[in-house]
Structure formats: structure tokens, C-alpha cells
Structure 1
Amino acid sequence: MTSETEIRAKSKPATPVTPAAKTSSPQPQMHSHSPAGPTAFPAPQQIGFFLLPDFALMSYASAIEPLRAANLLAGRPVYNILNYSVSGGHIASSSGTAVPTTPLAQAPTNLHSLFVCAGGHPSQWQAPGMLPALRKLARWGVRMGGISSGAYVLAAAGLLGQRQFTIHWEHAPALIEAFPDLEPQRARFVMDGDRITCGGGVAPLDMMHAMIAENLGSDFATRVSDWFLHTQVGTSTGSQRASLAERYNLHHPGLLRVLEKMETTIEDPKSREEMARFARLSTRQLDRLFDQHLGKSFLETYRQVRLDHAHRLLTQSALTISEIAFATGFSNSSHFSRSYKATYGITPSMARGD
């Protein structure tokens, strides 16, 4: 499947500086601190944010604000925040707030890290010159990051092979379909050497806590988190979503096992009898549990799980409607279209704006 469109960049690339002088990994160098704050810091790190149109504003703010607070608490710049886009100019966020940017081609080789910040519709992220520019920075030793759906862009640039990474749970299905060799982790954030990714939302707060601790020590990172009342710092392995028990407001172990199995067998749906055996229940018990706890039948619930998955693929992937029907366990596109319209009131083609 075509995952990228590479066109020559509109802006002429800046003359590269010899990358040999760049250090690729941060080293904690804070020597001492007083109640007023640390008294010795390493040289400021250049942290870049590559913004795509309609980028997730909350995720972006959750990433840059800890860096700003670190500068404030340190009493001097310890992080320089730089904003980039493909061609420069103001880039509108998901809420319409515009951020001024510099063309990515002008990014210096002494960038420590570059985070790709993106929102919805990953299959449409095909800006001129974007992927070659990202690959060039990676070759120079820049630490490459993805925020919210930014990992999809890194995958399209071929920068996530043999790496552990994560992506916002809503965009995981589109990434897996587009790049079947890659498997995102179910984690809030993942730091794997010179790749660092998070699921978006408020997860960047946790990721930046870890990144600041890596550079300036855990005590200073805790002071930054306290500044934002971020007293419950999440771990890298923390979940991105509420548990099934919380989402469905139920606690029956057998029913939870079936619901979890539904979410992992979307492409190859299991029969009611197979699911009952899997949960060590009779089919009559299974039917009673669905009716009692969810107010829906087994088949209605399973169909909704598959249609929700199909909806995400329709809005976020370049798969054809027939391919989406197959990927969500429908026998053909006609059956899929009828089921989709009965649930959402519009056809799959209308959902895509065709």
C-alpha cells in the first residue's frame, strides 16, 4: 500500500552543518541545587516540533509547557523550543489556534530532538518534501519523536523499523493496516534510544517528565511536574484508555473475557458458540449476561465493535471500502455498507465525503 507521497520541497534546503559534531544522547549534568533551584545546568537542548495542519493542540501544549516551566524554574534557558512545518508560516491546530513556524528544511543539525505533532486523518499526511526532510534529520542523529498520531508520519518515513513505539489508540488500526510490519505498543509513551513517542492527550506530560529527568535529574523533573499539579506521573507502560470494566461499567470476568476477545478478533469474528466455550459459559448463560449487563445481544455488541473499528479506518486510512469490509469481518462490501448505514445513518462513501 502506498504510504507516502514524496514531492520536492518548496523551500530550498539549508546548507547542512557537518553532523559529526552532534551528540546524539543527553547526559545528566546537573551538579548541585538549592531551594531556589539548580545552580549548574548543561547547555540548552534544541527541541523542535514539526507541526502538521490540524495538529492536536492539547498534545502540543502538554509537550511544550513542561519545557517552558523547566526554563522558568531553572532561571535560564535549558530548552530552546523551535516550531517547524513543511513550508513555514502559521499552522492551524485542531481548535484553529495558529502557531508560527519555520520551514523544516531550515532545521539545524544541532537539534537534539524533533517531535512530529499530528492530529486526525493520517492517510492524508502527504506534504511536499516532508518525509525526505525527516529522514535527513534522522541521519544527522536527531532524536525523532511522535506525539498523538505523529508516529504514523515516522512510519511513513521508514523511521520506526526495528523500534518500539506507540501511537494514540484511535490511530493504531490505520497504522497497522498501512504498515503491517509494525506493531505499536499499548503504552502512554515509549522511549527507545533515538526514538521517543507518546499517545497524545496528556501523555506528553508523562513523556516530558521522563525526558527532563533523563537530562536534568528526577528531582528537577518532579519540580516541573508539581508546577502543573501533575502529581500522578504516569509510567511509560501505563494504559492509554480506561479498562474494559470501566468503559462498559461491568465486572463479570467471563463477560469481560468475551468483550476483550471481540476487540482482538475483528477481522475474523468468532461464533457465539466459540465465544461461550472460550469464556467457559453455556450459550444460554452468555446470552443472559449480554442482556443483563449491556442491554444488547451478543451479535449486536460484536457488530458494533467491528463497525466502530471500521469507522476509524474509514476516516483515518487510505484503505478502500472493500478492504475495510474485509478487515472488519464482513463477507462483502454490500453487507458492510448496509450495516454501516443502519448504525451511522450514512453510507461509508458519505463518511469519507465521496
Structure 2
Amino acid sequence: MSSDQTQNIASSDGKPRRMVFVLLENFTLLSFAGALEPLRIANRMAGKTVYEWTLIGEGGTTVASSSGTEFNVNADLDEVGRDDTVLICGGLDVQRATTKRLLAWLRREARRGIVIAGLCTAAHSMARAGLLDGKRATIHWENQDSFAEEFDDVNLTKSVFVMDGNRYTTAGGTSSIDLMLKLIANDHGEEMANVVADQLIYSSIRTDQDTQRLSVPSRIGVRHPKLSAVIQMMEQNIEEPISPSVLAKDVGMSTRQLERLFRRYLNRSPKRYYMELRLQKARNLLMQTDMSVINVALACGFASPSHFSKCYRSHYDTTPYRERGSQAVRLSI
């Protein structure tokens, strides 16, 4: 980078923007690092401090990430500056990490007009505090089913990140990088964001229009338009499953042709594949929510709890009730 470019980037006026990272127990290290490193690099590229940051957490001592690495935090959940940006770092067992004290703190800071962002699963904490009511938001794809069931007032998207007013959310993983590059671009221009991305060897900056999961053809390793269309219809109709004959008709095929297509590319029948999708959602709901087993069954298209239990046991070698019990034991440890 030339000295002229450096001078141009470093010409931003104003005091440094302060970021307050709130580390929740079992937070995801990748999401946290993906948000912090662009700030460090921005300072280096600007030749001055344009961003400052601090780490806080409940208790004010140490917080462990989901990888087991512990971090010393600088303070407890104290009041932050009005111009600060708060970034809640979530991860595994976010329901357990979302304590009453955290919720009270989030609501108090929100009333003061603070910008608050939720990284990875922290959108759950923000939604529990009522910070996302009537707003667009995103969360890691693995948590989408449980989030949608619990928070009806939130407009959940599948985007990599979402910025709605002074509430930001990310989908986890490397999506923190995309959010921070967007903030850097807003604060100091696109050139600064591009230079930071280059330093990160981040060759494709995603926007809030990009979705977090691969397309259906990429995920299943098959580029057959009719098969992809059927799978998309299955994924969008879990609570009220569509029969294979109707699915086949909707894509201009016979039921027999659809059966052959699934056997050829996925080595299973359409009915079996659909069942696996429904059971996967059921497992997510059992593991991530306190919904009753009966309500989980209904949400996944099973009219009978006994039929649901039979199918679940056949696929996962345990019953829904035992799965729920084992999750309760894990959360209590």
C-alpha cells in the first residue's frame, strides 16, 4: 500500500470508536476473533487508534469460550458510554448464559440508546430482552428453528448479518468479519474496509443480502434443478408436509420419476429424506428450547406423539423424552 493510500485512510476525524465486547459463557472464539481482529488491523492501517475496545462479562473476572480457553475481562456488567458499541458474544448453551442479570443490563443499556450487536447465537439474548421486537435479525442456521418458535415478534432472516437501526446481529462463524468490515466502511470509507479485508486474506466481503448457508445444490453435491426445487419445498414445509405425489406434480414429474431421482442422487426415497429433515428440526427444538415434546411433534408435522416417538427412536436410537432429559443434564453440569 502506498503512502498516499495510508494518508487517505488515516484522514478520518474524531475520537476513536469504543467497542465493548460482552463475553457470555461458552462464547464462540471464532466469532469473537472475527470481530476483534478487523479493529486491530484498522488501527494499524490507519497509523493511529481509530478503534478502542474492552472486554466485560458477568462477574468481572474470567469467561470461558466454548473451546475451553479462558479470558480475563476488564469489568463486570457496568454502564457503558453513550457512544460505545456493545457486542454480545454468544455461543453454545446461550439459553443458560442468558441470565436475569444480563437481561436487565441489556434492557437498561438499550433504553439509553446504545448500539447493541449480537454475534453468533447472542441474537437469542437480545430477543429475550425484547431488543429485537419488530426488527429484522439473524442467528446461526442451527438455531433458526428454535429461535423462530420462541420469538414471533422478530423478523428472522437467513442473512449473514443484519443491521436494523441500532440493533445488529450476525449468523456466527466468519460473519463477524463481514459486519465489522461494514462498520469500518461506514466509519472510514470503503477503501479502509478493503485494505483491512486484504490484510485478513478475505477475498469476498459479504453483505446483508448474502445468505449464511450454501445453496441446496452445493449442500447435497447435486446440480439437478428439479431435485433442488423439491428439497427446497420440503425444507419450507416441515410443519405441514407435502406428499411426494404433490411435490412431483409441482415440478412436472411423475411420482415414480421423483422416486428414481432421489434414489439415484441421494440413495433414499423422497419420503425418507423428508422424514430426516423433519426429525432434524425436531432434534434442534428438543435440544434448544423448552417446548413440550407434543408441541415439538406438531411443529414437525407429526399428528401423533406416539408416531413421532417411534420415528425419532428409529432414527436417533433414543426417544424424544430421553433426548430432552439428556439435554437437561448437560445444561445442569
Normalised by the size of structure 2, how large is the TM-score?
Answer: 0.92
CA–CA distance in 2 between the matches of 1:80 and 1:313? Answer: 39
User: Cα distance 1:248–1:285, how it changes in 2: closer, same or farther (>3 A)?
Assistant: same
Q: What SS class does the counterpart of residue 155 from structure 2 fall into?
A: coil
Task: Provide the residue aligned with 1:176 in structure 2.
Answer: 148
Task: Provide the residue aligned with 1:332 in structure 2.
Answer: 304
AA paired with 2:200?
F
Q: How does 1:232-243 map to 2 (within 5 A)?
A: 232-243=204-215
CA–CA distance in 2 between the matches of 1:303 and 1:284? Answer: 18
More deviation in 34-43 or 326-335?
Answer: 34-43
Q: How does 1:87-98 map to 2 (within 5 A)?
A: 87-98=59-70
Question: Deviation of residue 318 (structure 1)?
Answer: 1.5
Task: Determine if the alignment matches structure 1 residue 287 to structure 2 residue 259.
Answer: yes
**Contact 2:95/2:125 (CA < 8 Å) preserved in 1?**
no
Q: What SS class does the counterpart of residue 187 from structure 1 fall into?
A: coil
Q: 2:189 aligns with which of 185, 197, 217?
A: 217
Question: Deviation of residue 288 (structure 1)?
Answer: 1.1
Task: Provide the residue aligned with 2:80 in structure 1.
Answer: 108
**Contact 2:88/2:119 (CA < 8 Å) preserved in 1?**
yes
Q: What SS class does the counterpart of residue 82 from structure 1 fall into?
A: strand
AA paired with 1:257?
A
Name the structure with the higher helix share.
2
**Contact 2:137/2:154 (CA < 8 Å) preserved in 1?**
no
Question: Deviation of residue 102 (structure 1)?
Answer: 4.3
Post-superposition CA distance 1:97-118 (Å, at most 9, x none): 1112245531323352111111
CA–CA distance in 2 between the matches of 1:121 and 1:277? Answer: 42
Task: Provide the residue aligned with 1:117 in structure 2.
Answer: 89
CA–CA distance in 2 between the matches of 1:242 and 1:108? Answer: 38
Question: Deviation of residue 322 (structure 1)?
Answer: 1.4
**Contact 1:33/1:39 (CA < 8 Å) preserved in 2?**
no
Task: Provide the residue aligned with 2:247 in structure 1.
Answer: 275
CA–CA distance in 2 between the matches of 1:33 and 1:52? Answer: 42
Q: CA RMSD in A?
A: 1.8
Question: Deviation of residue 54 (structure 1)?
Answer: 0.6
Q: What SS class does the counterpart of residue 311 from structure 1 fall into?
A: helix
**Contact 2:6/2:45 (CA < 8 Å) preserved in 1?**
no
User: Cα distance 1:145–1:35, how it changes in 2: closer, same or farther (>3 A)?
Assistant: closer
CA–CA distance in 1 between the matches of 2:308 and 2:210? Answer: 35
Post-superposition CA distance 1:107-154 (Å, at most 9, x none): 323352111111133433441311111011111111011111111111
Task: Provide the residue aligned with 1:264 in structure 2.
Answer: 236
Post-superposition CA distance 1:240-281 (Å, at most 9, x none): 011100111112221111100110111111112221122221
**Contact 2:140/2:171 (CA < 8 Å) preserved in 1?**
yes
Task: Provide the residue aligned with 1:140 in structure 2.
Answer: 112
Task: Provide the residue aligned with 2:290 in structure 1.
Answer: 318
Normalised by the size of structure 1, how large is the TM-score?
Answer: 0.87
AA paired with 2:176?
P
User: Cα distance 1:281–1:269, how it changes in 2: closer, same or farther (>3 A)?
Assistant: same
Task: Determine if the alignment matches structure 1 residue 346 to structure 2 residue 318.
Answer: yes
Higher relative contact order (CA 8 A, sep 6+): 1
CA–CA distance in 1 between the matches of 2:62 and 2:94? Answer: 20
CA–CA distance in 2 between the matches of 1:128 and 1:161? Answer: 18
Post-superposition CA distance 1:43-80 (Å, at most 9, x none): 01111111111111111110111111112222322111
Question: Deviation of residue 351 (structure 1)?
Answer: 2.6
CA–CA distance in 1 between the matches of 2:180 and 2:173? Answer: 13
Question: Deviation of residue 198 (structure 1)?
Answer: 1.0
Task: Provide the residue aligned with 2:221 in structure 1.
Answer: 249
CA–CA distance in 2 between the matches of 1:244 and 1:40? Answer: 43
Count of residue correspondences: 323
Q: How does 1:199-210 map to 2 (within 5 A)?
A: 199-210=171-182
Q: 2:17 aligns with which of 25, 40, 45?
A: 45
**Contact 1:122/1:317 (CA < 8 Å) preserved in 2?**
no
Task: Determine if the alignment matches structure 1 residue 229 to structure 2 residue 220.
Answer: no
CA–CA distance in 2 between the matches of 1:85 and 1:117? Answer: 10
User: Cα distance 1:74–1:218, how it changes in 2: closer, same or farther (>3 A)?
Assistant: same
Post-superposition CA distance 1:2-61 (Å, at most 9, x none): xxxxxxxxxxxxxxxxxxxxxxxxxxxxxx965465144420111111111111111111
CA–CA distance in 1 between the matches of 2:292 and 2:96? Answer: 14
Q: 1:55 aligns with which of 20, 27, 31?
A: 27
Q: What SS class does the counterpart of residue 156 from structure 2 fall into?
A: coil
More deviation in 204-213 or 190-199?
Answer: 190-199
Question: Deviation of residue 158 (structure 1)?
Answer: 0.5
Task: Provide the residue aligned with 2:331 in structure 1.
Answer: none
Question: Deviation of residue 89 (structure 1)?
Answer: 1.3
**Contact 1:48/1:111 (CA < 8 Å) preserved in 2?**
no
Task: Provide the residue aligned with 2:168 in structure 1.
Answer: 196
